[in-house]
Amino acid sequence: MKKVEAIIRGNDFDRVKNALKQIGVVPLTAYPVQGRGVQGGVPPYDLLPKMKIEIVVKDEDVEKVIGVIIRNARSGTPGDGKIFVIPVEDAIRIRTGEKGNEALY
Ligand SMILES: Nc1ncnc2c1ncn2[C@@H]1O[C@H](COP(=O)(O)OP(=O)(O)OP(=O)(O)O)[C@@H](O)[C@H]1O
Ligand SMILES: [Mg+2]
């Protein structure tokens, strides 16, 4: 399992969210964040508002999920965002006790 963390523009969030649902990746965590990339914000703002999405996915779905995020969040201009992929040790669905991939979606 991997956690895909994507920091994207707020304007792209609905489109990314809907596209993920269409490929069967429904559960996610999302929250507003502030950050800066290599350009270091836009004067006079040091940090700019973005949306962060966290999704724990099966190893076999990582590339598909990354592709969906990119296709729906890329404008080709600075600030489109960034994706990080992080190994995840385990997942447990509290209601049933299911573990690993079975607990995801
Ligand atoms: N190395 C990083 N570590 C943590 N967060 C980052 C990192 N790079 C980018 N971010 C987060 O992603 C957001 C968007 O980054 P951004 O798209 O500007 O990246 P970039 O590397 O500057 O690429 P670009 O040149 O396309 O703008 C930032 O506001 C910040 O929240
Ligand atoms: Mg940038």
| pLDDT tens by residue, 2-46 | 999 999 999 999 999 999 999 999 999 999 999 999 999 889 999
What number is the average pLDDT over the span 63-79?
Answer: 98
Q: Is the CB of 38 under 6 A from ligand 1?
A: yes
Nearest ligand 1 atom to alpha carbon 80: 17
CA dihedral 99, 19, 77, 63 (to 10 degrees): 40
DSSP state letter for 103: G
Sequence spans of domains, the chain:
2-103
- The pLDDT of residue 97 is 98
* Contact in structure between 28 and 68 (CB atoms under 8 Å): no
- 2-103 placed in CATH 3.30.70.120: yes
- The pLDDT of residue 98 is 98
- The pLDDT of residue 25 is 97
d(CA 25, CA 103): 13
- The pLDDT of residue 83 is 99
Q: How much distance in Å is there from the Cα of 40 to the middle of ligand 2?
A: 7
- Identify the residue whose C-alpha is closest to ligand 1 atom 8: 37
- The pLDDT of residue 100 is 98
Strands 2-8 and 48-57: antiparallel
